[in-house]
Amino acid sequence: MIVKFKNAYLEKIFENKAVAGKSKFSSEVIVKFKKTVLRLQSASSIREIRSFKGLNFEALRGNLKGFYSVRVDRGYRLILTVDEEGEVIIKEVFTIHDLNNHYQ
């Protein structure tokens, strides 16, 4: 799967680039975030993503209708969308919008 970032801060964290100021997330959450993104990249389809029970891939409701989430850990989840890009082969593309604390 192709993973794009709509959130520049998260993209910098994923690419190990410097970010200004104190990090919004603990080092433990950052490591889990990177592992989750790598797992999304390595998947060949949404069906495969759904088979990873630990990710808890789900469509969101309410004011986040149209978005999906995957679990980073018990407290944090990635908010993303799924697009299709048509070239020779249609590829599914995850666009990461946010990493938030699910229980705040």
In the chain, % of residues over pLDDT 70: 88
- Supply the pLDDT for residue 61: 92
Kindly report, residue by residue over 81-101, the tens digit of the pLDDT: 988 764 444 456 778 888 888
Q: What is the pLDDT of residue 87?
A: 47
- C-alpha 42/C-alpha 103 separation (Å) is 28
Which residues in the chain land under pLDDT 70?
A: 85-92, 102-104
pLDDT, residue 104, reads 58
Instruction: Give dist(CA 33, CA 4) in Å, integer.
Output: 14
How many Cβ atoms sit within 10 Å of the Cβ of residue 49?
Answer: 20
Fold topology of 2-101: YaeB-like fold (3.30.2310)
pLDDT for the residue numbered 19: 86
DSSP symbols for the chain: -EEEES-HHHHHHHTT---SSS-SS-HHHHHHHHHHHHHHHH-SSHHHHHH-GGG--EE--GGGTT-EEEESSSSEEEEEEEEEEESSSEEEEEEEEEEEETT-
